[in-house]
């Protein structure tokens, strides 16, 4: 964990708002997975959508990770950063023919999640090696927007369509080398992980899919967002996963690769967003701490009602008061926390918003024409990489260059 003193030092050096990532913690989380799940055939494919910072990706590449990519640009970024095509899986949903074609040409395996796309693949790309995404029929996740299993979601092929799948596969002489499922993000129950695995394994018979090389059980490993939140016993879960997979491989008759695709688990806790308070305002019933960042930089509280822990770096021992911690965007919902008890916040105090490493910068925007903040990567308590924010003029020029080149000088 990066110390509070280091966070303050970085904020002073690079300005705020600022994302700071602890690369050492990310690697620790990566290697932990191999301690929990002791299977020698385990491969971890990082869900790049969680955070595409190239310095973090490079650390993971050197550690041996693969990539779960969801757009042609994510595939291209991973390839440019030196991930070999066989370390990448492409799992877009509702992809276009052109996107499919572009990725096919890179040699990256495509994970097909609909009968419609499978038919097109059989017709236009006969003989291809593919992976098939099934809907595991298990509903779990940290909120209903991040649950991907079950009837109400758009993801994957239904398990009971397996006979139809086989016919299409045969018609195009396709080679199904992998099966995939992803249950949701922030899975609350270990049993959901295991049940989804069992459901996918039930159709992964040698009769149905004789050419399997890997089984991919998606991401979704939960991380605590609140300090007092119960933690998953990953050691116990890892043992159950390993036992389940070993039994499966025995029945299948061959050792297969076991893949997981965590995003949050690797990157959420390693990130912190530092923001400076510039306004304290007492409305009738609320005290508002107004910051120099807003939901374009960290949207999870507004979008999912997600809790992100906040620390007052500048006054950690102050008397507790209750605050609405608000951003600088012209919308009422622009809040990082509502009615949160925090040590007294004064103007110019620095606040550290925790678990800002996954789905924060990557879901960011320049709404209200404020550039996304700089990002700093710390490894072993040293800054190893800085991704400088666009300046105000660079941001404006990039807008003008596209829409009004005659105004851009």
What residue ranges bind ligand LLP (CB under 6 A)? 47, 50, 68, 91, 146, 182, 185-186, 218-221, 261-265, 300, 304, 358-359
Minimum gap (Å) between residue 403 Cβ and ligand LLP: 29
Minimum gap (Å) between residue 262 Cβ and ligand LLP: 4
Per-residue HEC secondary structure of the chain comes to CCCHHHHHHHHHHHCCCEEEEEHHHHHHHHHHHHHHCCCCCEEEEEEHHHCCCHHHHHHHHHHCCEEEECCHHHHHHHHHCCCCHHHEEECCCCCCHHHHHHHHHHCCEEEECCHHHHHHHHHHCCCCEEEEEEECCCCCCCCHHHECCCCCCCCCEEHHHHHHHHHHHHHCCCEEEEEECCCECCCCCHHHHHHHHHHHHHHCCCCCCCCCCEEECCCCCCCCCCCCCCCCCHHHHHHHHHHHHHHHHHHHCCCCEEEECCCHHHHCCCEEEEEEEEEEEECCCCEEEEECCCCCCCCHHHHHCCCCCEEECCCCCCCEEEEEEECCCCCCCCEEEEEEEEECCCCCCEEEECCCCCCCHHHCCCCCCCCCCEEEEEECCEEEEEECCCCHHHHHHHHHHHHCCCCCC
Q: If 0-12 CB within 10 Å is exposed, 13-18 middle and 19+ buried, where does residue 335 land?
A: buried
Active site residues: 330
Cα distances from 15 to residues 46, 56, 211, 372, in angstroms, run 29, 21, 54, 12
Cα distances from 215 to residues 70, 134, 172, 371, in angstroms, run 18, 11, 22, 40
Minimum gap (Å) between residue 113 Cβ and ligand LLP: 9
Minimum gap (Å) between residue 42 Cβ and ligand LLP: 15
| Spatial CA neighbour of 133 closest among 104, 177, 91, 102 | 91
Minimum gap (Å) between residue 322 Cβ and ligand LLP: 26
Minimum gap (Å) between residue 401 Cβ and ligand LLP: 30
Cβ-based nearer residue to ligand LLP, 137 or 261? 261
Cβ-based nearer residue to ligand LLP, 29 or 300? 300
Minimum gap (Å) between residue 149 Cβ and ligand LLP: 11
Cβ-based nearer residue to ligand LLP, 113 or 290? 113
Cβ-based nearer residue to ligand LLP, 181 or 334? 181
């Amino acid at each position: 964990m990066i110390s509070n003193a280091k966070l303050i030092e970085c904020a002073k050096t690079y300005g705020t708002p600022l994302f700071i990532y602890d690369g050492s913690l990310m690697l620790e989380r990566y290697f932990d997975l191999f301690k929990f799940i002791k299977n020698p055939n385990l491969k971890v494919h990082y869900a790049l959508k969680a955070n595409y910072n190239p310095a973090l990706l490079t650390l993971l590449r050197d550690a041996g990770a693969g990539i779960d990519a969801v757009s042609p640009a994510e595939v291209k970024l991973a390839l440019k950063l030196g991930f070999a095509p066989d370390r990448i899986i492409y799992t877009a949903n509702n992809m276009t023919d052109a996107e499919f074609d572009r990725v096919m040409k890179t040699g990256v395996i495509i994970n097909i999640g609909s009968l419609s796309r499978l038919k097109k693949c059989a017709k236009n790309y006969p003989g291809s090696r593919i992976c098939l995404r099934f809907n595991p029929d298990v509903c779990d996740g940290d909120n209903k927007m991040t649950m991907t299993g079950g009837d109400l979601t758009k993801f994957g092929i239904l398990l009971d369509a397996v006979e139809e799948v086989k016919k299409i596969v045969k018609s195009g002489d396709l080679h199904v080398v992998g099966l995939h499922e992803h249950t949701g993000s922030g899975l609350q129950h270990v049993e959901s992980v295991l049940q989804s695995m069992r459901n996918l394994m039930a159709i992964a018979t040698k009769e149905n899919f004789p050419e399997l090389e890997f089984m991919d059980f998606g991401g979704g490993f939960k991380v605590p967002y609140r300090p007092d939140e119960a933690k998953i016993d990953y050691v116990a879960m890892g043992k159950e996963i390993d036992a389940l997979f070993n039994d499966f491989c025995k029945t299948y008759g061959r050792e297969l690769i076991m893949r997981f695709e965590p995003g949050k688990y690797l990157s959420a806790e390693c990130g912190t967003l530092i923001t400076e308070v510039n306004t304290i305002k007492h409305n009738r019933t609320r005290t508002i701490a107004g910051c120099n960042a807003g939901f374009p930089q960290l949207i999870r509280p507004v979008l999912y009602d997600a809790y992100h822990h906040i620390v007052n770096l500048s006054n950690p021992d102050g008397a507790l008061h209750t605050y609405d911690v608000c951003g600088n965007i012209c919308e009422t919902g622009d809040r990082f926390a509502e009615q949160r008890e925090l040590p007294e916040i004064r103007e110019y105090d620095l606040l550290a918003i925790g678990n800002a490493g996954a789905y924060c910068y990557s879901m960011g925007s320049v709404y209200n024409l404020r550039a996304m903040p700089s990002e700093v990567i710390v490894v072993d308590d040293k800054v190893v990489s800085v991704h400088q924010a666009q300046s105000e003029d660079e941001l404006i020029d990039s807008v003008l260059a596209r829409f009004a080149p005659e105004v851009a000088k």
